[in-house]
Amino acid sequence: MAQELTHFVAGKRLPGTSGRFGDVYNPNTGEVAAKVPLASVAEVDAAIADAEAAQIGWAATNPQKRARVLMKFLELVAGEMDSLAALLSSEHGKTIADAKGDIQRGLEVIEFCIAAPHLLKGEFTDSAGTGIDVYSMRQPLGVVAGITPFNFPAMIPLWKAGPALAAGNAFVLKPSERDPSVPLRLAELFLEAGLPAGVFNVINGDKEVVDALLNDDRIKAVGFVGSTPIAQYIYETAAKNGKRAQCFGGAKNHAIIMPDADLDDAADALVGAAYGSAGERCMALSVAVPVGEKTAEALREKLIERIGKLRIGTSDDPNADFGPLVGRDGVERVDRYINQGVEEGAELVVDGRGFALDGHEDGFFAGASLFDKVTTDMSIYREEIFGPVLVIARADDYEAALKLPHEHEYGNGVAIFTRDGDTARNFVNRINVGMVGVNVPIPVPIAYHTFGGWKRSGFGDLNQHGPDAFRFYTKTKTVTQRWPAGLREAATGEATDHFVIPTMS
Instruction: Summarize pLDDT for 12-53 with one digit per residue, the tens.
Output: 999 999 999 999 999 999 999 999 999 999 999 999 999 999
Q: Going by DSSP bridges, is the β-strand pair 3-4/31-37 parallel, antiparallel, or unpaired? A: parallel
pLDDT the model gives residue 189: 98
Share of the chain above pLDDT 70, in %: 96
pLDDT at 72 over 50: yes
CB 376 within 8 A of CB 393: yes
CA distance 40 to 136: 40
H-helix segments, 201-318: 207-214, 228-240, 263-275, 293-307
Average pLDDT over residues 468-482: 95
Long-range contacts of 69-73 (CB under 8 A, 24+ apart): 69/165, 69/190, 69/193, 69/194, 69/195, 70/110, 70/113, 70/114, 70/116, 70/162, 70/165, 70/166, 70/193, 71/114, 72/192, 72/193, 72/194, 73/110, 73/189, 73/190, 73/193, 73/195
Task: Answer whether 232's CB lies under 8 Å from 263's CB.
Answer: no
Per residue in 396-415, pLDDT (tens digit) is 999 999 999 999 999 999 99
Given 282, 366, 414, 442, which residue is catalytic?
282
Give the helix ranges, DSSP H, for 383-484: 398-407, 421-430, 467-472
Catalytic: 113? no
Domain parsing of the chain, residue ranges = 3-249+466-478, 253-452
Neighbours of 115 (CB within 10 A): 16
Mean pLDDT, the chain, whole residue set: 95
Confidence of residue 499 (pLDDT cuts 50, 70, 90): very low
pLDDT at 500 over 50: no
In tens, the pLDDT along 229-278 reads: 999 999 999 999 999 999 999 999 999 999 999 999 999 999 999 999 99
Q: Find residue 479's DSSP bridge partners.
A: 135
CA distance 7 to 15: 6
pLDDT at 385 over 80: yes
pLDDT confidence bin for 503, thresholds 50/70/90: low
What one-character DSSP code corresponds to residue 445?
P
- Dihedral of CA atoms 356, 360, 365, 369 in degrees, nearest 10, equals -30
Average pLDDT over residues 72-92: 98
| pLDDT, average across residues 430-439 | 96
- pLDDT single digits (tens) 327-370: 999 999 999 999 999 999 999 999 999 999 999 999 999 999 99
Question: Per-residue pLDDT tens for 477-495?
Answer: 999 999 876 555 555 555 4
State residue 373's pLDDT score.
98
Count of C-beta atoms within a 10 Å radius of residue 18? 15
Band of residue 505 on the pLDDT scale cut at 50, 70, 90: very low
Could you give the CA distance from residue 356 to residue 474 in angstroms, rounded to a whole number? 49
Task: With beta carbons less than 8 A apart as the criterion, state whether 116 and 66 touch.
Answer: yes
Task: Name the CATH topology of 253-452.
Answer: Aldehyde Dehydrogenase; Chain A, domain 2 (3.40.309)
For residue 124, pLDDT over 60 is answered with yes
66 pLDDT band (50/70/90 cuts)?
very high
How far is Cα 497 from Cα 482, in angstroms, rounded to an integer?
Answer: 17
**Distance from C-alpha of 462 to C-alpha of 144, rounded to nearest angstrom:** 15
Mean pLDDT of 495-503: 47
Q: Given its phi and psi angles, is residue 168 left (phi above 0), alpha (psi -120 to 50 degrees) or beta?
A: left
By the 8 A CB rule, do 414 and 405 touch? yes
Query: Kind of pairing, strands 21-26 and 31-37?
Result: antiparallel
Q: Cβ neighbours of residue 414 under 8 Å, at least 6 residues apart?
A: 253, 254, 255, 256, 405, 431, 433, 435, 436, 437, 443
Digit-coded pLDDT (tens) for 293-327: 999 999 999 999 999 999 999 999 999 999 999 99
Burial of 340 (0-12, 13-18, 19+ CB in 10 A): middle
- Which run of H or of E encompasses 190? helix 181-193
Instruction: Provide the CATH number for the domain formed by 3-249+466-478 in this structure.
Output: 3.40.605.10
Question: Comparing 360-364, 388-392, 445-449, which segment has the lowest mean pLDDT?
Answer: 445-449
